[in-house]
A and B are shown apart, each in its own frame.
Chain A
Amino acid sequence: MKLNSEQLQKLTIESAHAGLVSGDFTAVELAEAYLTEIEKKNPKLNAYLEVFMDVKEQAEMADKKIAEAKKAGQEKDLDILTGIPMAIKDNILIKGRRCSSASKMLENYVATYDATVIKKLKEKGVVFLGRTNMDEFAMGGSTENSAFGVTKNPHDTTRVSGGSSGGSATAVGGNLGLVALGSDTGGSIRQPSAFCGTVGLKPTYGAVSRYGVMAMASSLDQIGPIAKTVADAEIVFDAIRGWDKFDSTSYDLPKISKAGNNPSVSSERKKKIKIGVPESFLNQGGIDEVILKNFRDTLTKLEKAGCEIKPVEMPNLHYSLACYYITVFSEVSANMARFDGVRYGAHLEGKDLLEDYLKTRGEKLGREVRRRIMLGTYVLSAGYYDAYYNKAAQVRELIRRDYAKAFEVVDVVATPVAPSPAFEIGKNTSDPLQMYLEDIFTVPINLAGVPGMSVPTGFTPSTTTAPNGLPLAIQIVAPWRRDDILFELGKIIESCQI
């Protein structure tokens, strides 16, 4: 059966899997339906930097797996992700394929190995549709820092998709892919998800191996899913997480989300979910009215659904943004030092080695990347190191303690995801500080290492450029290694929207 645009729009991983197993459609038909959508919409949206040439061959392999399982009467053992079309952010390595981090520096770089998450998904028979646009090296919140053009918001093409995983969010939100992978250093999965109307999960730091994702700020980076539903995000998370010997910060998380096979959790869950709201952090000003109203309305709905809402004191959260950026500048300047024009990536010829470096890095790294390297070089230089980096490390500990204290009395902390809905393309490009301020609600989660998820909570009223309005979202945050609580509450939030 050929699938049309409306049918695709309604698909989830679970229903696609059911369709594949029952034979309603094949993996090839499913993949081709997405290729048709991509061909139609990508020239305008610029979600994908490259659509892979072998999508059909990958889908044929999946069909073969499905046929074999059916023949042996083992449909039940078939992985739910077999034949599922997925979009991959352009900073996650797939062996033998181009991977550029949306940078001129790596425009022609071909990945020499599979990221651990890719290896896991390949084993399950996932079909990779293509690589998605992003802010260069994941530095930004709008994809306007891509060396290959901005990704537009599928709900309003005059506005940004958010970032840095904007291509992945537009692919899923615009029906150009069933599900996607992104990476999140300070909101890069959650904020574009909020802007594009998708679910975005930043797992607990260490829950997913970072091996094979290009490092931006290593103590903050984490890979996660961008999906249409909380259930889909959970399926992908379960597929990619776990300890990996190539990432010493990774670990195994006991599976506790399904069927309450952890007795302490299920008995605890018979009680109400307690949601904490850091009131003083919300009253800092500069937050769009429409965001605050939608946030309050969502809390009211959750209260009616049986959750308990209570204010929490988190006095150090308002230092998060300063703490985050000092940390990021520092780690960026170190991580970007690898681009020397000698071992891989672009190379420009100078009169001597120093000039090779200067020219290659000056011309092939984009403006925001250059700015962050300069700032990192400054804050790490002798005489400033204590005042900036060391101070940030200490404040980071204070922020972590704020969460630890809050989680003594609540199960989840909730805030908006971003201070406004998706903003106009070009609005913040000349003022980098203004752009940084957009990250206010998402960065504390990465600093503390806790898991956070963006869940859609409706739309703004319609405008001339956004006939269906712009997506709105809530951010929910759970204690370390308790990503399962996010799925549980996320599903309640979804059911409140209907």
Chain B
Amino acid sequence: MLSRNDIDNLANLARIALSEEEKAKLQKDMEAILGYVSELQKAPASIDSETERQKPENYYLRNMMREDEEPFEAGLNTETILSQAPKRQGDYFVTKKILGDSIS
């Protein structure tokens, strides 16, 4: 079901470097887990028609929205937040450039 190539792709998408040993074990474990959770396909449909299925009111879970207002005063938390940065320069996080010879 899952090829070794799939594992390589997923690891890259998830931004996780994996050893060869772990990839082999993951391939086996993920197949077993995905095999198990696939039993869900046998479950009946809660909503029969596709139009009804698209309506959020048919699910009890929905997004909770709020107005984008009352922001914190600018700079109020800057020092606290930056104190946890692995690397900082003044009021900025330091990271490597994303444009150039090594985009992936």
Contacts and interface: CB of A to CB of B under 8 A. Distances in A.
Interface of A: 109-110, 112-113, 219, 248-249, 316, 319, 321-323, 325-326, 333, 340-347, 351-354, 356-359, 361-363, 365, 367, 370-371, 373-375, 377-379, 381, 387-388, 391-398, 400-401, 432-433, 436, 449
24 contacts: A109-B84, A248-B64, A249-B64, A319-B39, A325-B33, A342-B94, A344-B81, A344-B85, A345-B86, A346-B86, A352-B102, A357-B15, A358-B15, A361-B15, A374-B10, A378-B10, A378-B34, A379-B37, A394-B43, A394-B47, A394-B53, A398-B46, A401-B46, A433-B29
Given A342-B95, A358-B15, A358-B17, A248 B36 contact: no
Closest 5 pairs between A and B when the two form their complex, measured CB to CB: A362-B17, A347-B86, A344-B84, A248-B64, A358-B17
A344 B85 CA distance: 4
B13 A325 contact: no
Nearest to B80: A112
Contacts of A347: 86-87
A319 B40 contact: yes
- The bracket for how many chain B residues form the interface is 35 or more
B89 interface: no
A109 B85 CA distance: 9
A234 B87 CA distance: 44
A322 B84 contact: no
Given A316-B44, A323-B40, A396-B61, 16 more contacts: A112-B81, A321-B36, A343-B84, A345-B84, A356-B95, A356-B96, A362-B17, A367-B22, A374-B10, A375-B33, A377-B13, A379-B37, A388-B37, A398-B46, A433-B29, A436-B33
Contact of B43 (A219, A373, A377, A398): A398
Contacts of A319: 39-40, 43
Given A109-B84, A375-B34, A449 B60 contact: yes
B14 A373 contact: yes
B24 interface: no
A324 to B, nearest CB: 9
A397 B46 contact: yes
A140 to B, nearest CB: 14
A391 B41 CA distance: 7
B93 to A, nearest CB: 5
Nearest to B101: A352
Contacts of B87: 342, 347
B73 to A, nearest CB: 15
Interface of B: 2, 6-7, 10-11, 13-18, 22, 26, 29-30, 32-34, 36-41, 43-47, 53, 58-61, 64-66, 77, 80-81, 83-87, 93-98, 102, 104
Given A112-B84, A341-B86, A395 B15 contact: no
A479 to B, nearest CB: 13
Nearest to A336: B14
Contact of A354 (B46, B94, B102): B102
Given A362-B16, A373-B16, A394 B45 contact: yes
B52 to A, nearest CB: 11
B32 to A, nearest CB: 5
Contact of A395 (B2, B40, B64, B98): B40
A325 B35 CA distance: 12
Contacts of A400: 60
Contact of B59 (A249, A379, A393): A393
A219 B26 contact: no
Nearest to A344: B84
A398 B44 contact: yes
Contact of B33 (A365, A397, A433): A433
Contacts of B64: 248-249
Nearest to A206: B64
Given A358-B16, A370-B16, A397-B46, A112 B10 contact: no
A326 B10 contact: no
A325 B60 contact: no
Contacts of A345: 84, 86
A397 B85 CA distance: 41
A361 B2 CA distance: 22
Contacts of A322: 36-40
A389 B93 CA distance: 35
A433 B40 CA distance: 16
A347 B33 CA distance: 31
A361 B59 CA distance: 34
